[in-house]
């Protein structure tokens, strides 16, 4: 497992949700620019933000963190 694998899974979950980045940002308490950085740059959310993001997107954190297939 590498950070790049986790970032790919996170980007994929955000894209597949179909939810606008602005709406995601508001729900998890960050700016839309921050969500955009998660998508385009090598930026990873803090663990509490990742937990909120996974809950909002209804995605398992284990899946994002490459702990399950």
- Residue 68 pLDDT greater than 80, yes or no: no
Provide the whole-model pTM. 0.83
Does domain 3-64 bear CATH number 1.10.260.40?
Answer: yes
Domain boundaries, the chain: 3-64
Given a cut of 70, whether residue 65 has pLDDT beyond it is yes
pLDDT digits (tens, 9 = 90+) for 6-64: 888 999 999 999 999 999 999 999 999 999 998 887 788 999 999 999 999 999 999 88
Sheet strands (E) in the chain: none
How far is the C-alpha of 27 from the C-alpha of 47, rounded, in Å?
A: 16
Distance CA 34, CA 21 (A): 9
Which pLDDT belongs to residue 66? 82
Please say if the pLDDT value at position 69 is more than 70.
Answer: no
- What pLDDT does 49 receive? 94
């Amino acid at each position: 497992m590498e950070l790049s694998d986790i970032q790919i899974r996170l980007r994929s979950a955000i894209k597949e949700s179909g939810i606008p980045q602005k709406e995601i940002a508001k729900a998890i308490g960050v700016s839309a620019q921050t969500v955009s950085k998660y998508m385009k740059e090598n930026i990873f959310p803090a663990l509490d933000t990742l937990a909120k993001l996974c809950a909002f997107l209804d995605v398992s954190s284990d899946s994002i963190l490459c702990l399950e297939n």
